Amino acid sequence: MADRLLFTKTGRARYISHLDLMRTFQRAFFRAGIPLKHTEGFNPHPFISIALPLSVGYSSQCEILEFVLLDGVPREAVPRRLTAAMPEGILVHSCYPAERKLKELTYVNYIINMEYEEGRPQETETALKNLLSRDSLVVRKKSKKAKAGFTEVDLIPLIHSWNIQCQRDAMTLSADLRAQNPGLNPELIRASFCEAYPELAPDFVTFHRREVLDVDGKPFR
């Protein structure tokens, strides 16, 4: 049976790319003296994978890494030893057996915070509600597989639920989005909002992955 880590990625670590993060974990396992199963062949490397790669610049409190722990190190010792070998901003919270299949990971809850330097326009909340309440919201999404270099995607079926909270200088959207097959990057929601209402475009936007969920809306582990 495979094992999993639950870890957070915040602060300066937000700017570590997916490939660099994989290398960071490989080095951290080695430095921490934690033996892993390796792939077979002429160039064996540690068998590790991250469930849902996170976009550069996004923070997260619910990242999942899968690997195969060999005998010799108890699971309860892994978080402390790995965190000590990690760069600032990556904190390993738990290590546990992978009892559920990754295909059961259905939704991701994102917090999208839109900030306005000179105060939030009053129309922003209504505008965002109108956008997300449409029957259809088709956008162009970059695609390496498509001959044209992009494909058209309807965002509405990929948005499971959402909630908006407003402050004087910001508007925060909490949304449960489809995680995979296909998944929805919250950046497309921001881009759609700015395209539909350019006069209401925020000055600064942050994206935070708060939780990964199963089909029933419960935390996936």
Q: Give residue limits of the domains in the chain.
A: 3-99, 106-213
CA-CA distance, 129 to 55, in Å (whole number)?
Answer: 25
pLDDT in tens, 47-80: 899 999 999 999 999 999 999 999 878 999 999 9
Give the pLDDT band of residue 45 (cuts 50, 70, 90): confident
For the beta carbon of residue 85, count every other beta carbon within 10 angstroms. Answer: 18
Distance, in Å, from the CA atom of 116 to the CA atom of 118, rounded to the nearest integer, reads 6
Burial 27-44 (b: 16+ CB within 10 A, else e): ebbeebebebeeeeeeee
**Fold assignment, 3-99:** Alpha-Beta Plaits (3.30.70)
Domain covering 106-213 in this structure, CATH number: 3.30.70
146-172 pLDDT per residue, tens: 777 778 899 999 999 999 999 999 999
pLDDT, average across residues 162-188: 97
Residue 46: asked if its preceding bond is cis (omega within 30°), the reply is: no
Mean of the pLDDT values across residues 196-213? 98
Domains 3-99 and 106-213 share a fold: yes
